[in-house]
């Protein structure tokens, strides 16, 4: 996995969800905002503690998670 130093996990923060730099801003929130057509500028305006790199790493984290391989038991 690439360097995702802004994605943090802490049981004391959001029950251990993947968050941005130890803040109470889950990576899933950022991913959801982007999925619903929010621009980086709009997200940064709504969440002034965030930086553009936080958004990029949240998306990179989502892409890494989506690499899951599903095995159907059938061979090609």
Query: E-assigned strands of 1-76?
Result: 7-8, 19-20
CA distances from 30 to 3, 26, 45, 65, 72 (A): 18, 7, 13, 15, 31
Residue spans of alpha helices (H) in 5-51: 27-35, 40-46
pLDDT at 76: 56
pLDDT at 40: 97
Q: What is the pLDDT along the chain (76 residues), one digit of tens a residue?
A: 568 999 999 999 999 999 999 999 999 999 999 999 999 999 999 999 999 999 999 999 999 999 877 777 776 5
**Fold observed for domain 7-54:** Arc Repressor Mutant, subunit A (1.10.10)
Contact by Cβ (8 Å): 34, 55? yes
Name the pTM for this structure: 0.84
pLDDT at 75: 64
- What are the residue ranges spanned by the domains of the chain? 7-54
């Amino acid at each position: 996995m690439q360097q995702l130093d802004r994605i943090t996990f802490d049981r004391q923060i959001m029950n251990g969800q993947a968050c941005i730099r130890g803040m109470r801003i889950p990576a899933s929130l950022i991913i959801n905002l982007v999925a619903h057509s929010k621009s980086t500028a709009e997200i940064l305006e709504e969440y002034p503690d965030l930086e553009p790199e936080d958004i990029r790493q949240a998306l990179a984290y989502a892409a890494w998670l989506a690499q899951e391989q599903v095995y159907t038991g059938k061979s090609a």
